[in-house]
Amino acid sequence: MCTAIGEDPADVGPAWSLAQDGVTGPIIGPRTVEQLDGSLRALAITLDELFPPPGPNGAKPAPEAYAW
């Protein structure tokens, strides 16, 4: 998944957390400036293409939208 969008898994994890309802900020623990830069990259990553809303154009709520 991460290679499909050209992002590092360590950056996609916090991005996914931020996309969840009720999450106000993921806990990160960078030890270097490079790791901090990667963690900040999570703010710019959108996962809409990988995880579209359920149903056609979000018409049905989950889990019915995922039923075959």
What pTM, to 2 d.p., does this model score?
0.62
pLDDT value for 31: 93
DSSP letters, the chain, are -HHHHT--HHHHHHHHHHTSTT-S------SSHHHHHHHHHGGG---TTTSPPSSGGG-S-TTGGG--
Question: Which has more confidence, 45 or 62?
Answer: 45
pLDDT digits (tens, 9 = 90+) for 1-43: 788 888 888 888 888 888 887 888 888 889 999 989 888 988 8
Mean pLDDT across 49-53: 61
pLDDT value for 16: 86
pLDDT value for 33: 95
